[in-house]
Amino acid sequence: MTLKDAGYHVIVLGRVKSDSPDMPARRYRIRRFMLLFEKGPLFYASLNLRLLWFLFWHHADILIANDLDTLLPNYLISKLKRIPLVYDSHEYFTGVPELQNRKRVQKIWKKIEGHILPKLRYAFTVNESIAKLYFDEYGVRFDVIRNVPLPDDTLYPDKVSLRKSLNLPEDETIFILQGAGINIDRGAEEAVEAMQFARGLLLIVGDGDVIPQLKEKVAGLQLEKKVKFVARQNPVVLRRYTRAADVGLTLDKDTNINYRFSLPNKLFDYLQAGIPVLASDLPEVSRVIKEYNAGLIAYDHDPKRLATLMEEITDPSLLEQLKPGIKRAAAELHWGKEKEKLVRLINSIT
């Protein structure tokens, strides 16, 4: 939308899965490929071939490759047609946990990355830590453009009415853990276990690999009244759930380099919703929390200690101390300010 507003004609390419929800209306063009395979090596191969074929037959003045799994076809077309290429890296791709025990696959991605990255002129990523990793490894300078949300100026009903409309308890403390990738080592398991000792309701909104195990854990611990699951929502509805909560949780573990230097979107969603954040002690996340005094840091994932922090962060006297920082963070950490970096970068190319 930012590039569209800046006067560019934009087409976004992606893939559609058998269970993908309908795309909301957009002001730019979208083309989603239906592929024969939805995961594994054959998925990545078919995605890259479809991208290569489409880009070969369609005109573009600038290509933007989103993450390493789309970089190769974009790079080949950029060289063939002499089109500027921008690399948008949302994470340290070769450090994702899915590749930690698959060394052969990791080596393939590393080879692609090592061949292309040193030749890139334009690149950006989501935080300073990841930018430093790439510079130390390849000598390539990445701009930093954070994935912060649009400023949320929607006039929401009061919290009680909002909860009533979402079928949530009106008089309980609600902790929310949201995301499209609630996977292993994201702290969700410990958050569920903490509800044995904490008062309130844990609201898990989204999807991910670990959701089935979480539901089994909830049943095994007989926590059905204290943990509620909500399927992945579109951004408009998700914001209502976030606003209805009292505390946001982001509890990723330092089990791999990608998680260590992550800066999850949900952190900024919580701050935009005006709620404090209980976060794990990861460098980029804790830097934001401490800079704005917007929540508490969990220095380990022991469920009992998490429960103690969950009780502490809902104490009225602490909430009063945190409110000014949360308000300042919401006013500063939004796309209205961050987008100027993207516009400057693309304008510098054209």
Domain 2-148+336-349 and domain 159-333, same fold? Reply is yes
Give the model confidence (pLDDT) of 124-175 as tens digits. 999 999 999 999 999 999 999 999 999 888 889 999 999 999 999 999 999 9
251, 243, 234, 238: which is closest to 309 by C-alpha?
A: 251
Q: What CATH number labels 159-333?
A: 3.40.50.2000
Domain ranges across the chain: 2-148+336-349, 159-333
CATH number for domain 2-148+336-349, candidates 3.40.50.2000, 3.40.1710.10, 3.40.50.980, 3.30.710.10: 3.40.50.2000
CA distances from 127 to 161, 226, 235, 259 (A): 37, 35, 23, 12
Phi-psi region of 33 (alpha: psi -120 to 50; beta: other; left: phi over 0): beta
Cα-Cα end-to-end distance for the chain = 18
Six-digit token pair at 324? 């000014």
Residue-by-residue DSSP string for 128-166: HHHHHHHHHHH-PPPEE---PPPP----PPPHHHHHHHT
18, 22, 20: which is closest to 35 by C-alpha?
A: 18
Q: How far is CA 222 from the centre of its chain?
A: 30
CA distances from 117 to 3, 49, 326, 342 (A): 24, 20, 37, 19
65 φ/ψ angles, rounded to the nearest 5 degrees: -95, 120
Per-residue confidence band for 234, with pLDDT thresholds at 50, 70 and 90: confident
| pLDDT number for residue 231 | 94
Per-residue confidence band for 85, with pLDDT thresholds at 50, 70 and 90: very high
Give the model confidence (pLDDT) of 99-138 as tens digits. 878 899 999 999 999 999 999 999 999 999 999 999 999 9
The mean pLDDT value of the chain amounts to 95
| pLDDT number for residue 293 | 98
With 90 as the cut, is the pLDDT of residue 287 above it?
A: yes
Q: What is the average per-residue pLDDT within 327-333?
A: 96
The amino acid occupying position 10 is V
Six-digit token pair at 112? 């692609």
| pLDDT number for residue 226 | 98
